Chain A
């Protein structure tokens, strides 16, 4: 059940995994369902926490291995340590020297250590399946498509949620969380010649009670990024020449950032959503193969 690289003649899709913290584990279920149907993945794009899963899929891990990776990487250790200096500089910027290029309320080191331990020196260009990781350029706000270089560094940039973590500098650019530019970057797959695209996306949850400026900011950011998710998706749907199949799992259980014990449930939901799309996907890929190479494929 490996997420295998695409062989000529085999039906294949491009996979895009959007931002959604631990919910991105649903992508494991998607990969599992695709593998069981013998559908290969020809390109994978990941944004924010989705980048972690995109990277392991690109490296050729199967669903079981992906689960192990999740439990190893997704620990409280990831963000447990507060960055005292960051706190002080936010409260009294003049006194403690607020610097946007290094500001984070959490200590980056445990997260960076975990990512480097796991991905080592592996590079994006060496993965079995072509991999793209997206981040946002802090200087001009543009989407950055990381298609070469260290996997660990690219993921660090893609998950660099402002306020929580410091931005990451790659190739001279200061990068932050990819979700700011596009929470579900289907455009990257389209631009690189994707045919059928499976887009796994997540809506940001709204706050139940707004009792602090932080929660207020979270609420506002959820409103804006959910609207961005919808409008990017609408645009991609009409701009793509082939099909973009959305997999947007809705979880009946509330999932918090470190609900790692809920990972099996999340994976199951992802798998269920994918299976629901399978009859159409099968038909679509069969039609695509029949049309391949012939002009009659035009609609």
Chain B
């Protein structure tokens, strides 16, 4: 799994590629925690290059969602591939996390009804 982070004020874009699973969960948690500790709480996760998600990977992602919300922000997900979306839906994530077709829409969502 690779993570690249860029600032697109007012949001922080976290582009993830590869497999979000138990072998990479720690890395993901560290990346999100780093942003949140720096006060960047409006996060958009670009999932366009995420090929696989496992339950341990999703637990790490949920931790970041909850932390950002506690801090008054949110973690929103963009451009989810169909196979990954199936797992997100099965795991209940689509009912509690805002998911957008692309990064632009996810970023714009913070401008309106945050």
Q: Which residues of A contact B71 (CB under 8 A)?
A: 295, 297-298
CB <8 Å contact, A241 and B66: yes
CB <8 Å contact, A235 and B70: no
Q: Which residues of A contact B39 (CB under 8 A)?
A: 295
A143 to B67, CA, bound (A): 26
Q: Is B65 part of the binding interface, using a Cβ–Cβ cutoff of 8 Å?
A: yes
Q: Provided the pairs A193-B114, A239-B62 are in contact, do residues A143 and B69 lie with their beta carbons within 8 angstroms?
A: no
CB <8 Å contact, B62 and A193: no
CB <8 Å contact, A190 and B67: no
Q: Provided the pairs A193-B114, A295-B39 are in contact, do residues A241 and B70 lie with their beta carbons within 8 angstroms?
A: yes
Q: Which residues of A contact B67 (CB under 8 A)?
A: 241, 298
A299 to B70, CA, bound (A): 8
Within 8 A of A (CB), among B77-109: 92, 95-98
Taking CB as reference atom, which chain B residue is nearest A188?
Answer: B95
Within 8 A of B (CB), among A192-209: 193
Say whether chain B's binding surface is mostly helix, strand, loop, or mixed. helix
Q: Is B74 part of the binding interface, using a Cβ–Cβ cutoff of 8 Å?
A: yes
Size range of the chain B interface in the assembly: 10 to 19
Q: Which residues of B contact A295 (CB under 8 A)?
A: 37, 39, 71
Size range of the chain A interface in the assembly: 10 to 19
Q: Is A236 part of the binding interface, using a Cβ–Cβ cutoff of 8 Å?
A: yes
A240 to B39, CA, bound (A): 21
A242 to B72, CA, bound (A): 11
Neighbour of B66 across the interface among A187, A193, A236, A240, CB < 8 A: A240
Q: Is A72 part of the binding interface, using a Cβ–Cβ cutoff of 8 Å?
A: no
Most chain A C-beta atoms within 10 Å of own C-beta, residue among B36, B37, B67, B70: B70
Q: Mark B22-53, 1 if CB is under 8 A from A, else 0.
A: 00000000000000110100000000000000
A292 to B69, CA, bound (A): 11
Q: Is A293 part of the binding interface, using a Cβ–Cβ cutoff of 8 Å?
A: yes
Nearest CB in chain B: distance from A131 CB, A = 15
Nearest CB in chain A: distance from B41 CB, A = 9
Q: Is A191 part of the binding interface, using a Cβ–Cβ cutoff of 8 Å?
A: yes
Q: Provided the pairs A191-B98, A193-B114, A295-B39 are in contact, do residues A242 and B70 lie with their beta carbons within 8 angstroms?
A: yes
A217 to B74, CA, bound (A): 42
Nearest CB in chain B: distance from A233 CB, A = 12
Known pairs A295-B39, A297-B72 / 4 extra A-B pairs, C-beta < 8 Å: A191-B95, A239-B66, A241-B66, A242-B70
12 A-B residue pairs with Cβ-Cβ distance under 8 Å, sorted by A, are A143-B95, A187-B95, A190-B96, A191-B96, A193-B69, A193-B114, A239-B62, A239-B96, A295-B37, A295-B39, A297-B72, A298-B71
